[in-house]
Each structure stands twice: as C-alpha cells, then as structure tokens.
C-alpha cells in the first residue's frame, strides 16, 4: 500500500499528462522517457510553514503557507502565489506540475513552481492583508530570489499584495531585485502583464480558428462564452470584442451572468464588473439594476455552459474542473467548435475525453477542438518572464513591444503543439491534431532533455 497522501488534483494533472504520453508514440520511439516521467513527477522541494499575523482586533491568527519548488531544469522556479481558503498541497502540486510544462512551452528560461496560503483576503481590511503579507514573506524570503525562485500573483494575490510582499522582501534582504512579477509599473512591473493571460488565450484561439478554417475565419462574428470575472476573463472578453466577437457570459463563484436575446457584453459593462472585483463584491450585486436586468439573466449557483445557447467558442477562465462531462456535451450540442482553458485544468478529464473523442470522430472544422491551459493560458507567465528580463536589464519596454512578443510566444505555443502532435500522435486523414497531446509532449520532452543533460536521470 502506498504511503503517499491522497492528492486528487495533483493525481488528475499527472494522469492527464501521463495518459497522453502513453497514447502517443513517444515511449515507443524513446522508451527511456518513462524514467524521466517518474523523476519529473516528484518536486525538487516542498516548503510548508506557519503564518502568524494579527487582525485589526489585536487577535492572533494563524494560516498555513506553502511553496512547491517543482522543477528548475530550465531556469529559476516560476509560478504564482494563491491566497484562498481552498489552498492545500494537492492543489499547489497540481498547479506547480502544470507550470513546469507551461513555462517550457513559452520558450523562456523558467522552471516550474507554485505557492500560497489558505488565507482568505475577502472580508479583510488593507491593514490585515498587509500584516499577513509581511508575515508570509518573512518566512518565504528565505527560499526565493531572482535567480532561485520568482513568485507572482494568482487568485487572491493582486498588485496590492505583490507590493506588500515585495516591500517586506526588500527590507529583510536589503536588496532590490526582480524577485516577484506583477509589480507596479513604476517599480519594475511590465506593461501588458495584467492583460497577458486573457489576451494570450484569445491570440492562441485565433490561431486555432484560422488553422481549422484554412484562414477563412477569425473571431469576427463569433459568439464566445467565458466563465470567471477576474483579470483573465475581463481581458479575454475585451480582446474578443476588439477582434469582432461577441461575449455572451461572465461568472463568479456565486453564479453566472448570461446575455439574452442576441445581446452581448460591452467594454463599459465589463469595466463595471472589473470594478466589482476591486471592491470584492459579487456579480449578483448589480443584476437587479435596470441596465443589467434588461439585458442579462443571472443564474445563481450555476456555471454558464449549459445556459448560453448557441456559441462558437468557450473560454473557461475561473478555476480548475469548471467544465464537467455533462457541460462538455452541452457545449458541443450548442455548436461550439473551439474551447481553450484560460484557467488551469479548467476541464475535467471526462470533459477532455468527450472533446477529444468528438475531434477524432469529426474531420476538420466539424470537430470541437480543445486546447489545454498549459498552452492556451501561457501568456501570463510569458509576460512574467519578459518582466524578469526587463528587471535584469534595468529597463522597460513599451506596451506595443511587450504585446508583440506575447503574440509571437502564443503563436509559437500553438505551432509547437500542432507540429509535435503530428509527429507523435498522427491524426487520421482530415482530422485536426490533438493540441493536448502535442502540448504535453512538447513541454515534457524539453524539460526531460534538460534534466538528462544535468544528470537528473539517465
């Protein structure tokens, strides 16, 4: 009997990767890679610590802090910090494991890691959040650095938290370095970083659409369902609108807002929802207003997928496992042809199996084509890597330059996955290649080859 703890999220991420490797010709052509898979699935280091802080009443509070330093073969550990009551080691290991291969696909020199705490920023004052961040960084600073481990923001960690964390790191270590990404623009941050994940997933899907249609189609005229209402969802929605598409849904943890009677979100309505997030309010707080009630239907306690009607594109952009097998069937029935994860592991394995089966059974543009988060949402960490480069050179690039580099990286992620799928999982005549298989193999083989060069396996 195994003595390992039950870690469902990590086991799901591992099995998803391993199954695609097994079902390709990779191990037939390179049987030694089985050992590499065994080695890469164990983190290089897991750090767990207590975080003691004081609330506004002067009472002592305690939380758990974590940092999973999963793999540094390609560069310093790189991955976000998540502050949310659901945080546990299984979730952080899954996120860190995915991050290894996502970072590899960007082409930048970054390893994979993830961290955070079961601290809940919701309902806390700025002073309480600052005191928590100070305590959290007082311990974490012993284990990170610009050339060792470079955390970033994630759920519950916005630019405000990054500022508090960076300030404490600077005070304790007595040095200014690019140790965190997502920094403020006046003190080392990169332009386009808040927008990067949302923009990146749309750039990626744009390549999917053009490839599947032989260049005849784009986002213009497409109906797009999006879940979530944080940075990823907001900026994905704005980019879709800019490219001529219509956004028909957004959501939060309490419910979904779905456009009715052919309506869609405007940039101004998305800005209103963005302000709600800043104020830590729920979407439900505006659904009773005349402007929203006349145009949208609010569905409490539900995700949008089975309520959106006919759609062309689905972008899950909230959290893991937010598209079930049943919802996958509903999206196919609704006519969706493209789904790409703005969130990490946004689809359950059941949903992925349904999408992949539909792709294999339907030639060309008739298929639902699925793109995994490790490729489709790599834009965020890609611009974090660009922020690291700017910090190292002590300079700042223009928004246009960063955006151009982001577009190039997302095109490379798409083409790399596409070409690798053709090599190791050659599809039947007329069938679109598997982007999940291609992306998994491309990321895995790059990391495995570097580890072999370093003597981590042989």
The per-residue DSSP string of 197-246 comes to HHHHHHHHHHHHHHHHTTTS--STT-EEEE---SHHHHHHHHHHHHTT-E
Token pair, residue 422, equals 């053709």
Distance CA 84, CA 122 (A): 9
Token pair, residue 98, equals 């995915």
N- to C-terminal Cα distance for the chain?
28
Taking a C-beta distance cutoff of 8 angstroms, is the pair 46, 72 a contact?
A: no
Taking a C-beta distance cutoff of 8 angstroms, is the pair 78, 150 a contact?
A: yes
Residue 151, CA distances (Å) to 167, 379, 449 in order: 14, 16, 25
Helix (H) or strand (E) holding 63: strand 60-71
**Model confidence over 195-215: pLDDT tens digits?**
999 999 999 999 999 999 999
What radius of gyration, in Å, describes the C-alpha atoms of the chain? 21
| In the chain, where the domains are located | 40-173, 195-376
Taking a C-beta distance cutoff of 8 angstroms, is the pair 267, 274 a contact?
A: no
Share of the chain above pLDDT 70, in %: 100
Token pair, residue 172, equals 């304790």
**Model confidence over 336-391: pLDDT tens digits?**
999 999 999 999 999 999 999 999 999 988 999 999 999 999 999 999 999 999 99
Helix 435-453 × helix 89-106 angle, to 10°:
90
How many CB atoms lie under 10 A from the CB of residue 13?
A: 26
Burial class (CB in 10 A: 0-12, 13-18, 19+), 18: middle
3-state secondary structure of 318: coil
Architecture of domain 40-173: 3-Layer(aba) Sandwich (3.40)
Token pair, residue 408, equals 């190039």
Taking a C-beta distance cutoff of 8 angstroms, is the pair 374, 101 a contact?
A: yes
Q: For domain 195-376, give the CATH number.
A: 3.40.50.720
Q: Which of 29, 35, 93, 114 is catalytic?
A: 114
Distance CA 435, CA 441 (A): 10
114 is catalytic: yes
Q: Give the length of the chain.
A: 458
* pTM metric for this prediction: 0.94
The per-residue DSSP string of 397-432 comes to --HHHHHHHHHHHHHHHHHHHHHHHHHHSPPPTTPP
Q: Binding-site residues for substrate, please?
A: 78, 99, 102, 153, 384
40-173 and 195-376, same CATH topology: yes
Per residue of the chain (458 residues), what is the pLDDT tens digit? 367 789 999 999 999 999 999 999 999 999 999 999 999 999 999 999 999 999 999 999 999 999 999 999 999 999 999 999 999 999 999 999 999 999 999 999 999 999 999 999 999 999 999 999 999 999 999 999 999 999 999 999 999 999 999 999 999 999 999 999 999 999 999 999 999 999 999 999 999 999 999 999 999 999 999 999 999 999 999 999 999 999 999 999 999 999 999 999 999 999 999 999 888 899 999 998 988 999 999 999 999 999 999 999 999 999 999 999 999 999 999 999 999 999 999 999 999 999 999 999 999 889 999 999 999 999 999 999 999 999 999 999 999 999 999 999 999 999 999 999 999 999 999 999 999 999 999 999 999 999 999 999 99
């Amino acid at each position: 009997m195994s003595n390992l703890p039950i870690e469902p999220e990590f086991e799901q991420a591992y099995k998803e990767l391993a199954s695609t490797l097994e079902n390709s010709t990779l191990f037939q052509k390179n049987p030694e890679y089985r050992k590499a898979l065994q080695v890469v699935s164990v983190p290089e280091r897991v750090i767990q610590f207590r975080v003691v802080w004081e609330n506004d009443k002067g009472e002592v509070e305690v939380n758990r802090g974590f940092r999973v330093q999963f793999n540094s073969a390609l560069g310093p550990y790189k991955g976000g910090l998540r502050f949310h009551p659901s945080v546990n080691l299984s979730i952080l290991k899954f996120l860190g494991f995915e991050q290894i291969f996502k970072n590899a696909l960007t082409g930048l020199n970054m390893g994979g890691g993830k961290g955070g705490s079961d601290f809940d920023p919701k309902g806390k004052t700025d002073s309480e959040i600052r005191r928590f961040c100070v305590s959290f960084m007082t311990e974490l600073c012993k284990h990170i650095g610009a050339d060792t481990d470079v955390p970033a923001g994630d759920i519950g960690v916005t630019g405000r938290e990054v500022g508090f964390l960076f300030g404490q790191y600077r005070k304790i270590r007595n040095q200014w370095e690019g140790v965190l990404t997502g920094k403020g623009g006046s003190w080392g941050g990169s332009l386009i970083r808040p927008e990067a994940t949302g923009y990146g997933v749309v750039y990626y899907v744009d390549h999917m659409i053009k490839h599947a249609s032989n260049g005849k189609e784009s986002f213009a005229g497409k109906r797009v369902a999006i879940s979530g209402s944080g940075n990823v969802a907001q900026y994905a929605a704005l980019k879709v609108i800019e490219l001529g598409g219509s956004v028909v849904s957004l959501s939060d943890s309490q419910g979904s807002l779905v456009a009715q009677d052919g309506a869609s979100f405007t940039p101004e309505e998305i800005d209103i929802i963005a302000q709600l997030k800043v104020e830590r309010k729920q979407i439900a707080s505006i659904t009773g207003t005349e402007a929203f009630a006349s145009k949208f239907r609010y569905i409490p306690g539900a995700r949008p997928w089975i309520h959106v009607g006919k759609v062309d594109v689905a972008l899950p952009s909230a959290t893991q496992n937010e598209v079930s097998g049943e919802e996958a069937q509903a999206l196919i029935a609704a006519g969706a042809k493209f789904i790409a994860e703005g969130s990490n592991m946004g689809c359950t394995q059941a949903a992925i199996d349904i999408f992949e089966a539909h792709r294999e059974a339907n030639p060309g543009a008739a298929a639902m084509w699925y793109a995994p988060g490790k490729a489709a949402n790599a834009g965020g960490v890609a611009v974090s890597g660009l922020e690291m480069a700017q910090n190292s050179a002590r300079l700042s690039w223009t928004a246009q330059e960063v955006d151009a580099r982001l577009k190039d990286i997302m095109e490379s992620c798409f083409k790399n996955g596409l070409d690798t799928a053709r090599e190791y999982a050659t599809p039947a005549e007329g069938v679109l290649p598997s982007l999940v298989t291609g992306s998994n193999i491309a990321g895995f083989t790059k990391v495995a080859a570097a580890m072999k060069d370093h003597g981590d396996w042989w």
